[in-house]
A and B are shown apart, each in its own frame.
Chain A
Amino acid sequence: MLQNKLSFNQTAVSLEVIGLPDYSNNEKSDQISIISSWKLSIIDKPLIEGNFDHLSLIMTAFYSYTDYLINNQAGIYESKLIDIKAENSFTHIVLLKSSKPDVEPLTLKIGNSILSDIVNCFEQFNSSNKVRKVNINFSRTNQRKNYFDLTKKGKLFGVIMPPIISLFSLFIASSTLIYFYNMEEDKKNKALINTEIMRNSMKSIKTVL
């Protein structure tokens, strides 16, 4: 059976999807619901290809990473198949880890222009009526945590409140001990201790003499 082929192009990037329609769902012959393979071609870069699961993981990675960039967060995306991080404000490093054994990871350096081309290719693919939609799982995202970012109200509250609560609980616990403390008895005890000390010191002086 002949397979269908669809291409999505954006300037320097091309995404080619190969697959079959799902005839059990009464789909048209030019549709692709069962994706058997795909190829992502970037000018001057090695060809990236894989199966449907790989496409889903790669799309999730690019969508999540670009969402960090749009929200001005220092994003780093890490997963089993792909890592993306920023080298500087206009270069991004993509590390593709092969699922086949004994295959070295592939590192690609891409600029903002290629990054936006790739995302736009994926957007065209996802908005096409002729192909099966790919579910983007944003829960895989792995954001670099910035513990010292106190600009957000929630974070500031989270940092300040625990020590305040602990100090307050210590104060309440220690103030209850005041009820068990008897000032008069303490004074008597102190006087007794002082007379004992005096008596002992007199004894020691006498023995020395």
Chain B
Amino acid sequence: MRKSFIKNNINIDEFEALIKLTVEMSKYLYPYIREILQSRENIDQNPNIWGDFKKRFLELIYERFNINSMKVKKILNPNNNDEILINSLLTLALCNSNRGFQKLRNTLLKI
């Protein structure tokens, strides 16, 4: 999915290290993640935070991902990308605990 000419395969240690990093980041960023989720819930009252997040997220996707890939096209599709973004943010919000590493690891292995 990434814009790269080399196929990088990560080993299990690197995979687990990345999950640990993500869980620790989500602990630190929980207030922001929660704010973005709340903005999407009250989109009529407070649309700015959700709008800014979505704009920046899509900018990064265009910049760093292979936009010819079908999976990336699905993320960029404006009709259903809200649900993908909400699910991703909710997963991060629910994984910021001591059990978070195991939860996120199991989820990623099931994909």
Set of chain A residues within 8 Å of B37, measured between Cβ atoms: 90, 111-113, 116
* A33 close to chain B: CB less than 8 A: no
Shortest C-beta distance, B44 to chain A (Å), equals 13
Contact assessment for B38 and A111 in the assembled complex, using a CB-CB cutoff below 8 Å: yes
* B93 close to chain A: CB less than 8 A: yes
Set of chain B residues within 8 Å of A89, measured between Cβ atoms: 82-83, 86-87
Contact assessment for A91 and B94 in the assembled complex, using a CB-CB cutoff below 8 Å: no
Which of A47-55, A65-73, A190-198, A200-208 is near enough to bind chain B? Answer: A65-73
A69 and B97 contact, Cβ closer than 8 Å, known pairs A112-B37, A116-B34? no
Within 8 A of B (CB), among A52-83: 66-67, 69-72
Set of chain A residues within 8 Å of B4, measured between Cβ atoms: none
Number of interface residues of A (CB under 8 A): 21
Contact assessment for A120 and B103 in the assembled complex, using a CB-CB cutoff below 8 Å: no
Contact assessment for A113 and B38 in the assembled complex, using a CB-CB cutoff below 8 Å: yes
Contact assessment for B34 and A123 in the assembled complex, using a CB-CB cutoff below 8 Å: no
Set of chain B residues within 8 Å of A71, measured between Cβ atoms: 106-107, 110
* A99 close to chain B: CB less than 8 A: no
Contact assessment for A117 and B34 in the assembled complex, using a CB-CB cutoff below 8 Å: yes
Contact assessment for A90 and B95 in the assembled complex, using a CB-CB cutoff below 8 Å: no
Q: How does the 8 Å CB contact mask read for B8-35 relative to A, with 1 for contact and 0 for none?
A: 0000000000000000000000110111
Q: How far is the CA of A115 from the CA of B87 in the complex (A)?
A: 13
Set of chain A residues within 8 Å of B97, measured between Cβ atoms: 119-120, 123-124, 127
* A11 close to chain B: CB less than 8 A: yes
Of B34, B37, B83, B87, the most chain A CB neighbours within 10 A belong to B34
Set of chain A residues within 8 Å of B30, measured between Cβ atoms: 120
Q: How does the 8 Å CB contact mask read for A118-132 relative to B, with 1 for contact and 0 for none?
A: 011001100100000
Contact assessment for A112 and B91 in the assembled complex, using a CB-CB cutoff below 8 Å: no
Of A115, A116, A123, the most chain B CB neighbours within 10 A belong to A116
Q: How far is the CA of A115 from the CA of B34 in the complex (A)?
A: 10
* B54 close to chain A: CB less than 8 A: no
* B41 close to chain A: CB less than 8 A: yes
Set of chain B residues within 8 Å of A124, measured between Cβ atoms: 97
Binding site for B on A (CB under 8 A): 11, 66-67, 69-72, 89-91, 111-113, 115-117, 119-120, 123-124, 127
